[in-house]
Amino acid sequence: MNHLQFIDYSIIILVLGITLWLGFRFAKKQDTTENFFLSKGNFPAWALGLSLLSTLISSVTFLGYPAQGYTSNWILLVQGLMVPVVLLGTIWFIVPLFRKVIGLSTYEYFEKRFGSFARYYSSSSFIIRQFAGMGTVLFLIAVAVNEMTGINPYLILAVVGAVLVLVNLKGGMQAVIWLDVFQGFMLFASGIICLGVLLFSIKGGVPETIRVATENNRTGFGPYNFDLTQLTLIVMVINGAFYAIQKYGTDQTVVQRYLTARTDKAAIKASLLGISLTVPIWTIFMFIGTALFVFYTQNQLPAGTNAAAVFPHFIMTQLPTGVIGFIVAALISAAICSLSADLNSLAAVGIQDYYKKFYPGKTDAVYLRTSKLFVVISGLIAIGIGALYLLSGNEGVLGVVFTIYAIFSGGIVGIFLLGLFSARANRQGVNIGIITCILFTAWAFLTSTPIGVKNPKLLLDLGNFNFTQHKLMLGVYSHLVVIIVGYIASLFFPKPTLAPNLLYSSWKQNRHNEKAV
């Protein structure tokens, strides 16, 4: 395997330097909590769109999708393909509705619609999922850079963690978004370069790639049978639809971008740009995995190389000096940028949903200092989770991430949809739905999760009463439980009196009235 040369390290150091410079570049403007978390009106729509793109593609796309494409077909891409299908019909009202109803935290809407329990439940669910995802990204970056350079993975964790925390502390949301723009271009360029080199290196080019991949079941989105117990197309379609609503309608990292735009129109334009670019990027990196499989059927791969290490191995052995440095820099940049957005969003939820609730009436200076403390604490926790992943030798990370999203989605989309579309749903009924969802999720998880290596046993074995369907369906069912139980339970309590814009119907009517005036 080739080693990084002086020019490679120079490129990596240059990119890290630009990252830090952008953080310090906006340091003087982070004098209020609003500037630190929103910096409202300071970004053009195209920059916000690229920021959304970069937030969603990160290092999981860079390494997880090629690993999946190398070992299997394209079924996990279906979740991403469902994003534009669902959101092109909903983004038009979700974005302006949030911009009218909330100040900073997505979960303010949940409280205004269903009370404090719904708010704390949804925000804590976000925090759990976010930390799990951040730990996965740090794990991926440490494994990949270690594979390429031999640098101790724990040292990589520490350096990347320190840079991303420092960037956030100094530059706030302004640094996060402009870093996302920079990283978006780098990641797109690195994907095109790698795919181009791969296809040029395969004997027979694109036709041979497609032929070999098809013969070895590396294309398509099957199995296509209607089976909810296995990872099938129908499971991914259903899960992907709920994922799209959850990510773009209830996820703080995304909703916070809506709030930074100058106008509703700019926020919608940014969302459409981000949505339209994510699918091509996901497709490119999944196809890289397919091409890697074909390339290594024609060329020898060292024995014992696991799927997650195949793409880094190709980069280090097949790309020229300088290009290797650019690719490694793009990978590190992707991790830092996506994690910076995560840290900023976690701190926003921490300060808005918890600290201000417990300590109201403090000065903005106190809230700003506390927000930065939350950034540091969140960064340290994420680094710790990444280190735990390294200790456990976790593999199949892309599947792990999707499973975590499903398990800890916790019916959030169900709460959101009831809030938007049901005037009859009320606080009492939804609280009953949430409690039922918690009990259901606990039962399903415990009765479907094995422990042990040689003789694995379920955490809780109830025989015929075990949850036997695929874990990605667990998240879907949790949303349906909240919708069904929450609505039926609401019928036993008085119909709520709602403020304007909380329902889709009232928002639509108010908008019609505004246009008429």
Residue 223, number of CB atoms within 10 A of its CB: 15
| pLDDT (mean) for 164-190 | 87
385 vs 137: CA distance, rounded Å: 10
How confident is the model over 341-393, as pLDDT tens digits?
889 999 999 999 999 999 999 999 999 999 999 999 999 999 988 888 888 76
CA nearest neighbour of 409 among 89, 73, 21, 79: 79
Contacts of 516 (CB under 8 A, 6+ apart): none
Contacts of 72 (CB under 8 A, 6+ apart): 217, 218
37 vs 241: CA distance, rounded Å: 29
The structure tokens listed for 272 are 């459409």
Measured N-to-C along each axis, helices 412-421 and 504-516 cross at an angle, to the nearest 10 degrees, of 40
Report whether pLDDT(458) > 90: no
442 three-state secondary structure: helix
Measured N-to-C along each axis, helices 252-260 and 153-201 cross at an angle, to the nearest 10 degrees, of 80
Q: How far is CA 91 from the centre of its chain?
A: 18
Strands 457-458, 450-451: pairing kind: antiparallel
pLDDT for position 399: 56
| pLDDT (mean) for 277-303 | 92
DSSP state of 351: I
How confident is the model over 80-103, as pLDDT tens digits?
889 888 888 888 888 988 998 998
pTM: 0.89
Domain boundaries defined on the chain: 8-409, 410-517
CATH of 8-409, one of 3.10.20.600, 1.10.600.10, 3.40.30.10, 1.20.1730.10: 1.20.1730.10
DSSP 228-239: TTS--HHHHHHH
The structure tokens listed for 376 are 């540091």
CA nearest neighbour of 337 among 37, 46, 41, 59: 59
pLDDT for position 136: 81
How confident is the model over 252-285, as pLDDT tens digits?
998 998 999 889 899 999 988 888 888 888 899 9
pLDDT for position 113: 95
Greatest pairwise CA separation for the chain in angstroms:
72
Q: 132-141, 221-230, 318-327, 468-477: which has the minimum mean pLDDT?
A: 132-141
CA angle 312, 315, 316 (to 5 degrees): 90
DSSP 185-253: HHHHHHHHHHHHHHHHHSTTHHHHHHHHHHHTT-SS----S--TTS--HHHHHHHHHHHHHHHHHH-HH
pLDDT for position 408: 65
| pLDDT (mean) for 290-308 | 90
pLDDT for position 406: 59
Report whether pLDDT(398) > 70: no
Q: Name the more confident of 150 and 60.
A: 150
